[in-house]
Amino acid sequence: MRSNFRLIAIGAIVVSLVGGILIGRFSGGLGGGGALAEIAADRGLTVEQATGALKAFTAPGEWDPYILVSSGGHSGQLHLVGVPSMRLLKTIPVFTPESWSGYGQGADWSEGILAEGSTDKQAAELAWGDTHHPALSETEGAYDGRFVYINDRANGRLGMVDLRDFKVKQILDLPNMQTSHGGVFATPNTEYVHISSMTPMPQTDDGYAPLEDYAEDYRGISTWVAIDPETGRADLDDSFQIELPPYTQDLADAGKLASDGWAFINSYNSEMAVGGNMEGGQPIEVGASQRDFDYMHIINWKKAAEVAAQAGKTEMRNGVRVISLDTAIEEGLLYFAPEPRSPHGVDVDPTGNYITVGGKLDPHVTIYDIELIEKAIAEENFDGTDEYGVPILKFDAVVAGSVEVGLGPLHTQYDGRGHGYVSLFLDSAIAEFSLGPKAGIPEAEAFQLVDKVQVNYNVGHLATTEGDTVAADGQYLVALNKWSVDRFPVIGTLKPQNFQLIDLTDETMSVLADMPIGFGEPHYVQIIKAERLVNAIDTYEPGTDPLTFARSSVATAAGEERVEREGDTLHVYMTTVRSHFTPDIIRARAGDHVVIHLTNIETLADATHGFAIPGYNIQASLDPGEVVTVEFHATKTGSFAFYCTEFCSALHLEMQGWLLIEP
């Protein structure tokens, strides 16, 4: 408990400090400088806190200049957060059913996406995913606001959300890989979205191989998913995969500008440890941390796309063309650069010249230079090969610099002013460091630690505004802290994560705000300028099928509502408008196959209706203009009062009807 005495004492200091500053700054148009200082003092705020609050404040009704697109971890969702206000705007379900939006709760379009997202590769139809790394689509290396892709860490899948209506349109279950982690990025013009395996998988017909045959039968996979520029959808026929050695492929990034055409994938466990701690072996984390170096994979993806197009250079494996490891080596598509112990993040700077790697067990970041890499490849400046024959570039020949930043460096983002910001998991801090001359930093100041700020606690990823694109603008940084420990009231044993907003516009970094994340465990996020979301719509054209954006063949206009019976199938063409369903009585018989085509004939933004049937596990959401079909078997007789789940109008409670299923 704070004593009143302490509050008064702090208050007095704050009044004088804040008063001086705030009166100075706000005596202009606001006319209330003294009052602001008093409020700060009353609330016990320090100057830093009051300044931070004002910097992050977004007035009621004002829009944030940035939108943060966050993965939701094993909630299987994406979250949109306004920056700098750190207000949660929306949750978008991708891999996991969600009943607000009716996703996977009986509506045809979403059931179809989830069903297609589970191929025979899976043992069951999947109802969850672990979202880790969102990748916004890009044009010329900058976000273009068209699509966002997100991987499923658990099941090796890729989801696509269309940034017109912010709904998922496709889940692609990737052949030949079981898991995927950080290997997700869009190429600078979104020709491909890359996704790589994390844990290698046996490339055998039945997906099984004894662990004794790990080195022989297991392989990593780098997948280049071809993207249709109109729809954003993946086309497996035009996609290809590259086989990789059975190391654990981790984070990845696309080259851009100076490094356009290249891609970089970190790996660890080049020891190929498989565990066996009850069978006389070492635990995996021990076995996988033996060597001083693992390998950064350097892939010439433009050349790989050419090779994949040539006859005889690939083999079809479960519906996708695969370039074998041997072919990749022969054709000069794959090189390794040594990277210090247990690397995690690999991040290309906005100029494309530098590639920063954080080694979890090394207190440095290592910064590679693409010009040096290209030179070493051209001159075959190799340190031999790995056991699979992949050429290893000489470490000293490709590294531009390294900076001692602190303990547990993971991920790096940039500000477009020649600085990198790296998350330090063990130190619970963000370190700012300078890049080299190719990013505009004078030689004498290159590759140095610049600043450090403490975060709370144990930061994983971090994101700066557009900080992984050519347009990084260095305004804000968000730290994604894994633990919140004591930052929030005790609300049970499962604790929220903590996002912290950090200002990058001053000489030194400062923490402006905390945002508890009580709805999943975000890993990576990207922050896009809100003004780039030019395709976003707030209503559909009347009668739209959300999957195609075209007019639905079952769209129903006002006055065209009807019920048609075809044997045991009952087709209901229903409209929704404030505040009724038409028809509001559906008469079915036990055993019928009931198909209800709902059209929301509203044209006004926000006039969403829901359609819920008790006892049948059905809840659909219909945005203005949207058409959704709900289909079920009338297995249980009864009188079911269906109703609208969105509070749409003063007579929302009256927006209900009867589904009669006669015995």
- Is the CB of 175 or the CB of 182 nearer to ligand K7E? 182
Would you count residue 194 as binding ligand K7E (CB under 6 A)? Answer: no
Q: Which of 655, 657, 659, 661 binds ligand CUA (CB under 6 A)?
A: 655
Query: In sequence order, what DSSP letters do the residues of 266-278 get, joined into one string?
Result: EEE-TT-----TT
β-bridge mates for residue 162, sequence order = 147, 167
Q: Which of 78, 136, 328, 648 binds ligand CUA (CB under 6 A)?
A: 648
Residue that has been written with the tokens 């001159």 in this structure: 379
- Is the CB of 102 or the CB of 182 nearer to ligand K7E? 182
Q: Which of 195, 390, 480, 644 binds ligand CUA (CB under 6 A)?
A: 644
Would you count residue 460 as binding ligand K7E (CB under 6 A)? Answer: yes
Q: Which of 341, 571, 587, 652 binds ligand CUA (CB under 6 A)?
A: 652
What is the smallest separation between the CB atom of 107 and ligand CUA, expressed in angstroms? Answer: 16
Would you count residue 69 as binding ligand K7E (CB under 6 A)? Answer: no
From CA 355, how far away is CA 396, in angstroms rounded?
Answer: 15
Q: Yes or no: say if 318 and 176 are a contact pair by the CB < 8 Å rule.
A: yes
What is the smallest separation between the CB atom of 480 and ligand K7E, expressed in angstroms? Answer: 7
Contact of residue 597 among ligand K7E, ligand CUA, none (CB under 5-8 Å per partner type):
none
CB atoms within 10 A of CB 39: 15
Contact of residue 644 among ligand K7E, ligand CUA, none (CB under 5-8 Å per partner type):
ligand CUA
Contact of residue 460 among ligand K7E, ligand CUA, none (CB under 5-8 Å per partner type):
ligand K7E
β-bridge mates for residue 242, sequence order = 222, 323
From CA 655, how far away is CA 344, in angstroms rounded?
Answer: 53
Would you count residue 344 as binding ligand K7E (CB under 6 A)? Answer: yes
Binding pattern for the stretch 529-568 against ligand CUA, x by CB under 6 A and - elsewhere: ----------------------------------------
Contact of residue 540 among ligand K7E, ligand CUA, none (CB under 5-8 Å per partner type):
none
Q: Segment 509-568, which members bind ligand K7E (CB under 6 A)?
A: 523-524
Q: Which of 92, 298, 410, 554 binds ligand K7E (CB under 6 A)?
A: 410
What is the smallest separation between the CB atom of 521 and ligand K7E, expressed in angstroms? Answer: 8
Which residues are CB-neighbours of 274 under 8 A, at least 6 positions away?
211, 214, 281, 284, 287
Q: Segment 575-634, which members bind ligand CUA (CB under 6 A)?
A: 579, 609
Q: Pick the stretch among 110-118, 249-257, 530-538, 644-652 that binds ligand CUA (CB under 6 A).
A: 644-652
- The shares of helix, strand and coil residues in the chain, as percent rounded to the nearest 5, are 15, 40, 45
Which residues are CB-neighbours of 27 under 8 A, at least 6 positions away?
33
Nearest Cα neighbor of 351 from 188, 475, 135, 465 is: 188
Would you count residue 360 as binding ligand K7E (CB under 6 A)? Answer: no
β-bridge mates for residue 580, sequence order = 577
Query: Dihedral angle at the C-alpha atoms of 18, 24, 30, 34, nearest 10 degrees?
Result: 40
CB atoms within 10 A of CB 563: 15
Query: Dihedral angle at the C-alpha atoms of 273, 274, 275, 281, nearest 10 degrees?
Result: -70
Q: Is the peptide bond before 457 cis (omega within 30 degrees of 0)?
A: yes
From CA 340, how far away is CA 595, in angstroms rounded?
Answer: 59
What is the smallest separation between the CB atom of 277 and ligand K7E, expressed in angstroms? Answer: 24
Q: Pick the stretch among 191-199, 227-235, 502-510, 643-651 that binds ligand CUA (CB under 6 A).
A: 643-651
Footprint on this chain of ligand CUA (rule: CB under 6 A): 579, 609, 644, 646-648, 652, 655
Footprint on this chain of ligand K7E (rule: CB under 6 A): 132-133, 181-182, 344, 410-411, 460-461, 523-524
